[in-house]
Amino acid sequence: MANSQYYDPEKAKEVVQNDSISKKKIELKPAAEITKKLYYGAIVQFNSTRRGTLLELSPLIGYNITDKFSAGLMFTCIYFKPVNFYGIGIFGVTPFLKFEFSRDFYAIGELCNINYPSEFSVIGVEKRVWETNPMLGLGYSVSLSEKFAFNTALMYNLNHLKSKIYGSFVMRVGFTFRIYD
């Protein structure tokens, strides 16, 4: 005589087969679909102002969230030669958001975080400081092929009054490319 309080493997199979949760498929996007939305590139900047001379090379990686909206990171590498001072190395990371109005025009926002030696550093004892520069701007993109584009943007530095490196306007020139179709 079987008691309904005991485990019955046949009933357990039936419960699992009729369970609505087990009928739903969990679909994960394959890595190939994610990498199709990635793009890579670099920003190159040369600027000479009253603050000094700046040479920047910043590789970037971006991800297309939608057809018009993307986000990414730039890894900032700068050589800066202030007026009447020795040249310094600057590094940092810059998250960015980009919205494309059309194939050619876009709006961009950056939060440029850079690290450089303090002006009060003693030779041999380098003290470094962080500076954050929120920037907003408009850009123009020229597609040279489906996978490669030349970009230029004029950015306004919202922190230009306190910034020791960037002025009020920053001109970004660079390129982006896609590896996958």
Across the chain, what does the average pLDDT equal? 83
The letter for the amino acid at 66 is: T
The string of pLDDT tens digits covering residues 110-139 is 999 999 887 655 565 678 899 999 999 999
Angle at 60 between CA 160 and CA 37, to 5 degrees: 125
Window from 21-35, 54-68, 164-178 with minimum mean pLDDT: 21-35
Percent of all residues in the chain with a pLDDT value above 90, rounded to a whole number: 44
Q: What is the pLDDT of residue 15?
A: 55
pLDDT tops 70 at residue 164: yes
Window from 23-32, 33-42, 123-132 with minimum mean pLDDT: 23-32
Q: What is the pLDDT of residue 124?
A: 59
pLDDT band at 14 (very low <50, low <70, confident <90, very high): low
Sketch out the chain's domains with CATH numbers: 29-177 (2.40.160.20)
The string of pLDDT tens digits covering residues 41-95 is 999 888 877 778 889 999 999 999 998 999 999 999 999 888 877 788 899 999 9
Report the alpha-carbon distance of residue 142 to residue 117 in Å, rounded. Answer: 37
SS3 content of the chain, % helix, strand, coil (to 5): 10, 55, 35
Q: What is the pLDDT of residue 106?
A: 96
Report the alpha-carbon distance of residue 180 to residue 172 in Å, rounded. Answer: 25
Q: What is the pLDDT of residue 10?
A: 65
Question: For residue 61, what is the DSSP state?
Answer: E
Report the alpha-carbon distance of residue 159 to residue 5 in Å, rounded. Answer: 71
